[in-house]
Amino acid sequence: MQTGDIIQRCTSDVETIRRFIALQFVQLGRGVFMVLLLVPIMLSMDARMTLVSMVVVPFIFIYAYVFFRQVRSRFQAADEAEGYLTTVLEESVSGIRVVRAFAREDYEISRFEAAANDYREKCRKLITVLAYYWSSSDALCLIQIAAVFIFGIGWTIKGEISLGTLLAFSTYVGMLLWPIREMGRILTDMGRALVSVGRLKEVMDTEVEELEAGFHLPEGFRLKGEIEFQKLSFAYDEAHPILKDINLRIAPGETVAILGATGSGKSTLTNLIPRLFDDYKGRILIDGVDITAYNRKDLRRQIGIVLQEPFLYSRSITANIGMALKDIDPAKVEKASREAALHDSISEFEDGYETVIGERGITLSGGQRQRCAMARALVLDPAILIFDDALSAVDSETEQIIQRNLLSRKGRATTIIITHRLTGVALADRIVVLEHGKIAQMGTHNELIAQKGAYQRIWNIQHQLELEAS
């Protein structure tokens, strides 16, 4: 299921169902009860007047039903035009630097105004059609009310019905018509609500991750951090294996760099350690114990992961860095942010560590986001640290500062560094080169540089580039 689709199911579909139950279902019930209660009363008073009062009722119902089915595509067109307008605006605002760099302001204005105009036209057309519907259905209802009164005048004059009966019918017809007109519209929406129920049920029926099983680690307990992969294989689908027969032991406190091309299985390998995926073959041991034996939450608390594209919450910087702490300690937060070379950037913000980031606050640059995620991992002081290409958006100078900071805590945690750049392996005790899901080479920098293989190839290319650049 795509992320956008899940969000839509949890928000729009829930809203459709809520609206149906809270508003439309009530209106529908009102319409049905009005018919069930009023028609017998009207029949008991005068059958002919009832017939006259009901002439337009089926037509108004069918008219509303058919109209709102037909007009659905126009609603959709207006929604799509609004969606496109928002996309154009978002693209233009987030890409403002590119717009300026290529002096495309006029082009952007005309593109935005074209989108805004298209949205205006689609809304206008929709409103015109709705104007026709509401005015004509109003007229139909008024004709029905007039018909009851005009026929009633004749029968009252002839003495066939009383003036009281005529006035009662005049009131009843109004009570019947408007809810029935609404019923036609509601029935067209009912289909949408049923589809939403089905879509939401799929989310509700999805199997949940077992978080409580396994043995618990005592409060404050810290693992040594020895990691061992035994004959590890993994595939999202059988036809395309990602990891093939990996055997690797990482000693407690050791720093290992994993190098490899995109798709070589580096991130997958590290995602398996905190049990983000379970369907692998082989075994993963931490401190000699199969990771499936640990309680999943306790295991994850021992691991700090920094992702290449870190996710930050729309909260303050302090709240983001201290997210996983039981009680946020500002001193710890500041220490971690200094280690991640983020403190100086934070100090420049007006509200410092209380600056709100994300959609409800300021936007951080890619490098700042990565450093914030790094501080979030460091503040936990976990037994295992994983940096998944975590400094890709950081400039070389800041990268060096961070590496120097990390060097001072070397040996404190077992550290896995995933990287494309050779500068990232500087801290590593050992380097593992992955190729097509297999370990192609393993050793220290000096050992690997002497071997023919991927590492030497990458080294030569990047070294050559650096020389050319300098």
Comparison of 140 and 180: residue with beta carbon closer to other proteins: 140
Classified as helix, coil or strand, 261 is: coil
Contact 250, 224 (CB under 8 A): no
Cβ atoms within 10 Å, residue 131: 10
Residue 445 to residue 439: CA distance in whole angstroms: 16
**CB 414 within 8 Å of CB 252:** yes
Length, in residues, of the chain: 470
Task: Kindly identify the residues of this chain, within the stretch 228-257, that bind other proteins according to CB under 8 A.
Answer: none
Instruction: State which residue, 147 or 449, has the beta carbon closest to other proteins.
Output: 147
Looking at 32-40, 89-97, 281-289, 445-453, which segment touches other proteins (CB under 8 A)? 89-97
Closest CA to 304 of 401, 372, 373, 364: 373
Q: Which stretch binds other proteins (CB under 8 A): 27-35, 115-123, 185-193, 432-440?
A: 115-123
304-333 footprint of other proteins as x/- string (CB under 8 A): xx-x--xx-xxxx--x---xx---------
Interface mask toward other proteins for 355-394; x: CB under 8 A: -x-xxxxxx---------x--x------------------
- Residue 468's Cβ-count burial label (10 Å; 0-12, 13-18, 19+) is exposed
Piece of the chain touching other proteins by CB under 8 A; list 31-39, 118-126, 280-288, 420-428: 118-126
Query: Does 260 interact with other proteins (rule: CB under 8 A)?
Result: no
CB 265, min distance to other proteins, A: 17
CB nearer other proteins, residue 214 or residue 448 = 214
Give one DSSP letter per residue of 108-177, joined into a string: HHHHHHHHHHHHHHHHHHHHHHHHHHHHHHHHHHHHHHHHHHHHHHHHHHTTSS-HHHHHHHHHHHHHHH
Strands 414-419 and 227-235: unpaired
Say whether residue 53 binds other proteins (CB under 8 A).
no
Say whether residue 94 binds other proteins (CB under 8 A). Answer: yes
Closest CA to 309 of 430, 197, 392: 392
C-beta neighbour count of 436 within 10 angstroms: 14
Residue 213 binds other proteins (CB under 8 A): no
Round to the nearest angstrom and report the end-to-end CA distance of the chain: 48
CB 37 within 8 A of CB 179: no
State yes or no: residue 210 binds other proteins (CB under 8 A): no
Nearer to other proteins, 13 or 399 (CB): 13
Choose the binding region for other proteins from 45-53, 121-129, 244-252, 396-404 (rule: CB under 8 A): 121-129
Q: Are strands 430-435 and 438-443 parallel, antiparallel or unpaired?
A: antiparallel
**Closer residue to other proteins, CB minimum distance, 92 or 255:** 92
Verify binding: residue 48, other proteins, rule CB under 8 A: no
Question: Which two structure tokens, joined as six digits, stand for 272?
Answer: 């398996």
- The nearest distance, CB 98 to other proteins, in angstroms, is 12
420 binds other proteins (CB under 8 A): no
> Rule CB under 8 A: which of 269-298 touch other proteins?
274, 276, 297
Distance CA 393, CA 97 (A): 17
Q: Is 340 helix (H, G, I), strand (E, B) or coil?
A: coil
User: Least separation, in Å, of the C-beta of 305 and other proteins?
Assistant: 5
The answer to the question of residue 110 lying near other proteins (CB under 8 A) is no
Residue with smaller CB distance to other proteins, 185 or 300: 300
By CB under 8 A, tell whether 261 contacts other proteins: no
Q: Which of 29, 47, 48, 136 binds other proteins (CB under 8 A)?
A: 136
Considering the complex, state which of residue 116 and residue 440 has its C-beta at the smaller distance from other proteins.
116
**Which residues are within 8 A (CB) of 1 and not within 5 positions of it... i.e. 6 or more apart?**
202, 203
Nearer to other proteins among residue 130 and residue 426 (C-beta):
130
407/445 Cα distance (integer angstroms): 17
Instruction: Say whether residue 215 binds other proteins (CB under 8 A).
Output: no
Q: Which stretch binds other proteins (CB under 8 A): 43-51, 256-264, 353-361, 442-450?
A: 353-361
The C-alpha atoms of residue 138 and residue 60 are separated, in whole angstroms, by 10
Query: Among 70, 86, 347, 460, which residue interacts with other proteins (rule: CB under 8 A)?
Result: 86
- Give the number of residues in contact with other proteins, rule: CB under 8 A: 82
Closer residue to other proteins (CB): 283 or 297:
297
Q: Is residue 227 within 8 Å of residue 414, measured between CB atoms? A: yes
For the CA atoms of 299, 300, 306, 310, what is the dihedral angle to 10 degrees? 160
Q: What residues from 137 to 196 belong to the interface with other proteins (CB under 8 A)?
A: 138-139, 142-143, 146, 149-150, 153-154, 156-157, 163, 166-167, 170
